[in-house]
Amino acid sequence: MKERDVVVIGGSAAGLTAALTARRHYPSKRVLVVRREEQVLVPCGIPYIFGTLKDPEKNVMPDAPYEANNIELLKADVTELDRDKKLLHASAESVRYDRLVMATGSLPIMPPIPGFDIDGVFAIQKDIDYLRRLFERLQAAKDVVIIGGGFIGIEFADEIKKMGNANVTIVEMMPHCLSLAYDDEFCVEMEEVLASRGIAIKTAAKVEQIQGRDHVKSVLLSDGSEIMADAVILGIGAVANVDLAKKAGLRIGLTGGIAVDQTMLTSDPSVFACGDCAEKISFFGGRPSGLKLASIAQMEARIAGANLFGITRQNYGTVGVWSTCVGDFALGTAGLTEAMARQHGYDVVVATVEGPNRHPGGMPGMAQTKMKAVFEANSGVILGGQVRGDTATGEMINAVSAGVQKRMTVEDIATFQIGTHPALTASPVVYPLVNAAEVAISKMRGRV
């Protein structure tokens, strides 16, 4: 039986980050990661296996950081957790711990749709062998239906289209693809880009049944229409993987994740949890949040890993920062969209600006960038923003997130010191975030 100071269960974004953080903060402690996978996939890179990378092996997280940081790795399945004895039982051996971090991740949602278990229907499993089988199936597929028009759905659709000449259709229950992540005008623009790339989109559509005997043949919608399919992908979200936590008697939160406090501590004073398996609260009012993102996972892991033997960090809630792209067309969101803010009951001022991301506009690489920023009307505090543009969108939305997390006001942002360059950024005169703040200030004065 092994004895270790810190044991982390799970080796994906949260597990590895928690172990690395523990090593940096507590260099004398013995750290062990237990994971079931032989190889761990980069979660957000899974869609790109099919059209861009063309090989699941190219989307694997290396194990080199374990050896480089003196972190022990045990590849085994944890079967039981005895919290009284601080002992976990794995398929290979038992391990005694002083502090434990649960980073067991999430599992794909399996919808109650008749036929979801027919051959040819695939969920998004974080398993390399499973994805190899999906890759082989898609290479021969002529008609592919993707159920769910969120990030995973649209990214899979575009990547599958890159593989060949398959007919690809997205079926989405909401009025638009990405409706839960962006305001409608951004969703419409993404749908237009998808359509221009040969992807069919059916929104406000409900799947009634997946049809077929030995293998999938078609997807039946509630309006009676039928879409031919020899492969179906379920991309409708994920649920926290809490089976081990439940079995061990850890408290479970309202949205189904392991209940944690602001330090990522569970109902057991020796057990922390982080990543998709942990319960989330929103940065905006402390409401339960169902967001599951690798970026959130690593933030929580840095908090958990630092707090193992002394509380130094706190989690102030999930802001929600994400981006997606199809080709060179990218969208990003940080914090609340206009629709979300109004649903939360905020009185808001919205500022939208658009212009070239180079100066002058004739510089190589120029693309039009659109920024929509949302401010609380009375205080002027930024609540969120959305960006549409090229690949620079990912970093621009991170700047918006910093403003949200630090509760910057319109005046703070209007006088924000930025660095610009003709070949890299928009003009300092009309820099999107700063310009949006100035527009918002004018609107706020008009309300007085």
Q: If pLDDT is split at 50, 70 and 90, which confidence band does 362 have? A: very high
The dotted CATH code for 2-107+239-306 is 3.50.50.60
Q: What is the pLDDT of residues 143-199, one digit of tens each?
A: 999 999 999 999 999 999 999 889 999 999 999 999 999 999 999 999 999 999 999
pLDDT at 31 > cutoff 70: yes
110-236 is classed CATH 3.50.50.60: yes
Q: If pLDDT is split at 50, 70 and 90, which confidence band does 440 have? A: very high
What's 223-259 look like in SS3?
CCCEEECCEEEECCCEEECCHHHHHHCCCECCCCCEC
Residue 304 pLDDT: 98
Q: What is the pLDDT of residues 273-324, one digit of tens each?
A: 999 999 999 999 999 999 999 999 999 999 999 999 999 999 999 999 999 9
List, as one string, the DSSP characters of 411-443.
Answer: HHHHT------TTTS--GGG-HHHHHHHHHHHH
State the average pLDDT over residues 92-98.
Answer: 93
List, as one string, the DSSP characters of 316-355.
Answer: --B--EEEEEETTEEEEEEE--HHHHHHTT--EEEEEEEE
Residue 75 pLDDT: 96
- Per the listing, tokens 């296996």 go with 49
pTM summary value: 0.95
- Per the listing, tokens 């082989």 go with 136
pLDDT at 447 > cutoff 80: no
Can you say how many angstroms the Cα of residue 71 is from the centroid of all Cα atoms in its chain? 26
Mean pLDDT over each residue of the chain, to the nearest integer = 96
Q: What value does the CA radius of gyration of the chain take, rounded to a whole number of Å? A: 23
State the average pLDDT over residues 230-255.
Answer: 96
CATH for 329-447, among 3.30.413.10, 1.10.287.1080, 3.30.390.30, 3.30.420.40?
3.30.390.30
Q: Domain ranges for the chain, please list them.
A: 2-107+239-306, 110-236, 329-447
Residue 92 pLDDT: 78
Burial zone of 288 (CB within 10 Å; 0-12 exposed, 13-18 middle, 19+ buried):
middle
State the average pLDDT over residues 98-116.
Answer: 95
Are 59 and 42 within 8 A, CB to CB?
Answer: yes
Q: What is the pLDDT of residues 378-415, one digit of tens each?
A: 999 999 999 999 999 999 999 999 999 999 999 999 99
Q: If pLDDT is split at 50, 70 and 90, which confidence band does 448 have? A: low
The partner residues of 75 in beta bridges, in order of sequence, read 35
Are 176 and 187 within 8 A, CB to CB?
Answer: yes
Task: Examine domains 2-107+239-306 and 110-236 and report if their fold is the same.
Answer: yes
